[in-house]
Amino acid sequence: MTRQLTTQVVTGTAILSALVVVFDYTLKFTGVKIPFPLFPTLRFDLDGVPIVLSLLLYGPYSAVVTCFVAFVAILARSGIVLSASMKALAEFGTILGLIPFYKIHSNGAKAFAVLSGTSSRVLVMTLANLAVWPLIFASLQAAMAFVPFLAVFNAIAAVISISGGYLIYAALAKRAPALLRTKH
C-alpha cells in the first residue's frame, strides 16, 4: 500500500514542525519553562502540543517527522545529543500510545488515548532512563530511586501535550472543518 502525500499534509507538517521549534526556542530563551517541583532540573514545555496535533490532523508519519524536527531543534540549540534524544523519545512515546486512538473522536476514545499516551510515555522514558542514568550516576540504585519522580513528571507532561493537542483539534473542528477532511 502506497501513501500519497498531499500538499496539505506536507504543508501542515512543516508548519507544526516549525511551531515546535518556535515553542522550544521561545520558552527556553525567555526562561518560561516551568520547573518540576520535585526535581527542578526537569521542566515542562509546550513542544508536545504541536506534535500531538500533527498526529490528530495528519497521521503518524506527520507526528514522527515533527518529533524528529524537535530532536534536531533541541540538538541545534543545546548541542547535547542526550537531552535532544530524551525529549524526542518522550514525545515519540506519547505519540506511540495515541496511535491506536487518533482517528476515533468519541469521549471514551479520548479518555483511552490520554491513558494510553501517558502510559506509553512513562514506560518508554522509564526504560530509557534506566538505560542512561546508571551511566551518569554509576549506580542502578540511584537510577531506580529517581524513577518515581520521572514517572510523575512524564505523566504530567503527556497530559499537557495530549490535552493541548485535543483542545486545539476541537477548536479547529468547529472553526475550520475543511482542514480536518485530510485523508491520512
Q: How far is CA 5 from CA 54, 59, 121, 177, 182, in A?
A: 14, 11, 28, 20, 10
pLDDT at 182: 56
CA 134 to chain centre: 25
* pLDDT band for position 4 (cuts 50, 70, 90): low
Residue pointed to by grid coordinates 482542514:
179
Residue pointed to by grid coordinates 512515546:
93
CATH architecture of the domain 7-181 equals Orthogonal Bundle (1.10)
Question: Hey, is 18 helix, strand or coil?
Answer: helix
pLDDT at 143: 79
> Domain extents for the chain?
7-181
Q: Could you report the per-residue pLDDT of 51-77, keeping only the tens digit for each?
A: 999 999 999 999 999 999 999 999 999
pLDDT at 183: 53
In this structure, what are the phi and psi dihedrals at residue 170, rounded to the nearest 5 degrees? -65, -40
Q: Could you report the per-residue pLDDT of 20-55, keeping only the tens digit for each?
A: 999 999 988 898 888 999 888 889 999 999 999 999
Q: pLDDT over 70 for what percent of the chain? A: 95
pLDDT at 155: 97
Q: Could you report the per-residue pLDDT of 128-165, keeping only the tens digit for each?
A: 988 888 777 777 787 788 889 999 999 999 999 999 99
Taking the alpha carbons of 38, 41, 35, 117 in that order, is the dihedral positive or negative? negative
**Residues whose CB falls within 8 Å of the CB of residue 165, separated by 6 or more in sequence, listed in order:** 48, 49, 50, 51, 52, 53, 55, 56
